[in-house]
């Protein structure tokens, strides 16, 4: 009876873990989508006050994305490109907010950087949307088994690949199969 009870509790624990990771995954998807919307708003915003407000949102959502990714199971340090993209986005938005606070305007170079971040984020968004659309409960369970056995996180790899395109680095072969 104790063994049966333990097996039931283990199944419950595994189900709870899967649900928690699914929640984290969809939070990441949602945050990336919101960032995408913010970048589109920045592209058309003309007032410096509105630009500063949107950049504040970009900064906060970048940190939220960092937190969401941090809660996902990662056993390797192979997501450096992901961290680079998220941190670069947060720091760029912070730097531009400070620039606007000093009464300066965004330059063409600043706008080009934001466009580049938008394009990277768009790539990430498309990949995550596809994954979210196609993922089932069984896929999440399989994924968690892979993570536990091999230490690979597909979401970080997707983010890493997309940010590598932005930074011009190759990530092929960086994940262990």
pLDDT digits (tens, 9 = 90+) for 11-54: 555 667 777 777 888 888 899 999 999 999 999 999 999 999 99
CB 43 within 8 A of CB 70: no
| Residue listed under structure tokens 């419950």 | 12
Any idea which residue has 């606070």 for tokens? 101
Please report the pLDDT score of residue 150 as a whole number.
Answer: 43
Those residues with Cβ within 8 angstroms of residue 30's Cβ, 6 or more apart along the chain or in another chain: none
Exposure string for 62-92, b = 16+ CB within 10 A, e = fewer: bbbbbebbeebbbeeebbebbbbbbebbbeb
pLDDT at 49: 95
Give Cα separations from 66 to 24, 99, 114 (angstroms).
11, 24, 19
Q: What is the pLDDT of residues 58-115, one digit of tens each?
A: 999 999 988 887 776 654 444 566 667 888 999 999 999 999 999 999 999 999 999 9
The pLDDT-based confidence of 153 (bands split at 50, 70, 90) is very low
């Amino acid at each position: 009876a104790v063994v049966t009870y333990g097996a039931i509790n283990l199944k419950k624990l595994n189900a709870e873990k899967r649900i928690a990771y699914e929640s984290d995954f969809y939070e990441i998807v949602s945050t990336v989508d919101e960032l995408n919307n913010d970048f589109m708003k920045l592209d058309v915003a003309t007032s410096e006050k509105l630009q500063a407000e949107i950049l504040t949102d970009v900064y906060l959502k970048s940190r939220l994305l960092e937190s969401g990714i941090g809660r996902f199971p990662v056993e390797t340090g192979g997501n450096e490109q992901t961290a680079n993209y998220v941190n670069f986005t947060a720091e760029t938005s912070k730097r531009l907010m400070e620039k606007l606070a000093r009464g300066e305007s965004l330059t063409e170079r600043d706008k080009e950087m934001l466009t580049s971040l938008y394009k990277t984020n768009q790539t990430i968004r498309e990949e995550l949307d596809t994954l979210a659309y196609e993922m089932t409960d069984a896929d999440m369970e399989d994924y968690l088994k892979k993570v536990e056995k091999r230490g690979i996180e597909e979401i970080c790899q997707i983010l890493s690949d997309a940010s590598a395109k932005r930074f011009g680095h190759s990530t092929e072969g960086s994940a262990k199969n």
